[in-house]
Structure 1
């Protein structure tokens, strides 16, 4: 029974027991359910729901905002629900809700959309399926926070698309399945933590803890999505069997004040849920469809499929695909739409171009959430680039380390192949050390030590600590990027190869950069992790001296920087290599340690080079360095020079036959940005940026 209490302006609406309910400022109609289920206020033909009208709640107060509905719609919904419950007719046999997302078909089931932006009480009536939700509370310190969560950090989430969004509530969140037949139901609750990051930043410290009750029974206490799922961006499903006696199934998620409230910012704590399934555990008699209806459905479906195929064909999405697309689609990386990338880079505006690599251009972009990204675009003309693109995304997606550039995801639409990385504010180590004057950075000695140790740790992870044993093959100053805090991160895994100990001889093309390749690899194609150790030694020399290995020739008789280093070692004047820009503001002991280690790493014999884990320990002073003295007159040194000269001659021949002068001009800017693919550097009188791809 409903009781109508009409009060004039400025008076109070009251229950039968005369307890105050809510002060109103205009002539309103108060509708109070006799069973105390909720409060409804009406004004100018609309109802306002201050609390959920489908379950018992506490007394309403003026501190809560109210959601407006059409009076006729609400009364019709209430009347329909009562009739269905009384007559035991099922408007719902199963119910699927995409919480915080749009309607759609997932795993063969039709999910209702749940895109209401407000977090207060709401009622939804959808033909033969009725459901509702209510949300209570205001976020502490951020009353304007939204109640729809998106995959903020572009996390790598597998499973249906409904894990990309979710509904949030600051305190209490209720979902109701209405007009359900009496019986036992399987309730599936889908969760994925998408509001915290999975890196080592402040955003990764958030903790969400809440309780879950169904039909008034608490099934989950202190539920932590991230802990249960095994990490951020991983989905988990909780299943329960519950009974429905009165036509209504209630799911209640409640925040009891546990966990964090301000990480990554205020307005992301409280209950969070991605999707809900309510499936009966019993058979329901149903009328079969007539032949005419079935024929109509089949015809309409076929027509729709044909229409979609025609549209896709006209838009260029249906064409002969390279196997690269299939390989990329199988990779478990974060996915970005082309629309997102174009919006972030202003439609790939040349003004946002920060470099040019062997694959193609690299752009700086800003996502809608403010994250700055670097977008590497694969040139559709380079089949070799396509293969290396697949290799690169496969390698990086399996690697997570503070000294490796983080891959956020990829974009594959039409003929567009793009990689999305974290953006490095300070460009490459090459620019910082020996770029143009306006590009160079003042790197003090502690920073140079930190960069050198960071590179060593990254390589140690690739060689020894990761699940896959990987040889980078192209360690050089250009492929070491610097973030805003000048931390070193290794980039460009386009030439990375799995370290197959039983098959170390590479019979295919040799790829790398002159001056950084180990002699055994350059001369014989013999590839092990010791090739990376050699390249690291060259980079360490460059860090200490501030000079490029292939560009610096103090005298005509010296071929390159490493040659000069061995001369100074024989003379006992190795510290003359230290960058003059440092003046006296460096540690001679640490400089001598780094230079001796660099010469040890560049030993012509790969077996005499240390492992990268040993290199880290030597740099940190945990173990001593025993660098053998190698004289320039020894035969091993001749091998090094022959490799250098051979590669120089081969690269000149290959480039002249494979590229026109125009294409060479386009590659002159390949080291202007931090994203430069593995290459053979051609000695010339041009500036430092002249490179060319070895095919």
Structure 2
């Protein structure tokens, strides 16, 4: 039995507990039930397993939604719980790199406070639902999916960021995007857009970032880009746009990154002198003529300068040496002249000056060069590695080449593939005993530290030799050289297998690698895609060219990224040319110094008469049982020649042909010939005190008879 005082105490404690619970419940930060149901539907449609959805999921900073793996793979939902009665509403949804499938749920538009959604690198297909415009979206980031169809714009009046890179959109760009005057970032690269950039885009005066790399957009670069005075980054690589680069680009004074490449038509060098904050300038393969402007010496924040594959002439401006921040300078394939400045040879940064018309000899050897000056020079007094077309410094002697690109030395089908293991690639030239070499140029966008050797990191089951397990890759330009090669026709085989993407239903399978292949300066395969050619990832494709002519002594194989394909799947630093192995074999007979089948056949034919003659003579002499043996044997003269000598081979054949056909009392008789190992022996009648005695040595006929019985001599 409880006493009255005990009963009062229990009731008091219960009341206090209920009061505390009520107070806690009144302060709880809860999602409305309706919003919980919406999130459950969204999660189900995206096949999402990372959310623990309830009214209290927003508590503790949204712990019920949060899952972190890496910066690029995470789940996070941000809630705003400052509404009356501690009500919470979802404002931001991030589901990055989680391989979500399905379609974008229409219910996202029912989240009345949703401002941003980031579904970067998933496996979502379908189109963008128009219902999303019901939510107050400010940012849509859908990079790296399988999205296609139309792009609904009406209603997205508050949108500041639209990221659709690395998807499957096609057709003309929507005119209505020009109405989104709050847009700051418009990223459309690596899609299949066609047509021209709409004039309405000139209204996007708040743009800070505009990218259309790898699309099929055509027409002139519009002058209205001059309206984008707040622009900080402009990417127009690998499109079908035409030059010239408009002079109005000089008004973009806030640019920090400028990338324009592979323009049709010619251009003069644009005026960039007022871009004091510029860090990266890429004007590659734009048919730019003229000289490199001196104002580059005043751009003190410049880190990367890529003016490769243009028509630039004149000298490298001395003022560029003032730029202390410069890390990379690529000037390959121009018509630059003059001496390479000493400050460049002594510089700390990576550079490529190859394929120009520089003169003068630096006081360094090919082995000491740490910068890529391949074939920069035209003067005959310069080092072989600095001369145009890399001429052989000695007599050409090579007639084949086998390279395991990015891998170790190995054998396949009786050929030894040489190793190619250097991990350097920003601007690098390496050669192996003037037999072969490679030159790699370029820096990956937003990933300076990327590797230049690809590996089968996804454990793909690749059928074929081991050289398909690794590959060499480059973000821009990769050249392999066959050096000191004999003149003639060759068969070139290029071995490929895509090993950096997966073959499953994940975002890692969505990459597109597209590059051009030239051999001896001729474009032979444009927009080459390994996966399309091979029929998938981890599959082998061999591209073969049967009649490649070497006129000088160098064979050049060039793989070039023309700005097309995806650049951010499975991550940034994977795009660009990739090759597994190279094999080059001659289409002509190679004199290796040994006896060829034709030579041996000639010997047999020319010596047949001698064989018969020798046997008849020996028979009549009684050496083969024709008469009684008076002595243990007869003395013969043997002339020895070496098969290692080309002269010896010719002498051997010629003597058999001539001596066996001639018979005269004053000439020694040829009894036969013998091939033992690499020794060639001619058996003559022995004549004592003859002047040839110094070069001949005697052997008994018994030895000759034994060899005839064993089929060694003829």
Query: TM-score w.r.t. structure 2 length?
Result: 0.33
Q: Which has the higher contact order (CA 8 A, sep 6+)?
A: 1
Which of 1 and 2 has greater Rg? 2
Structure number with higher strand proportion: 2
- Higher helix fraction: Structure 1 or Structure 2? 1
Relative to the length of structure 1, the TM-score reads 0.34
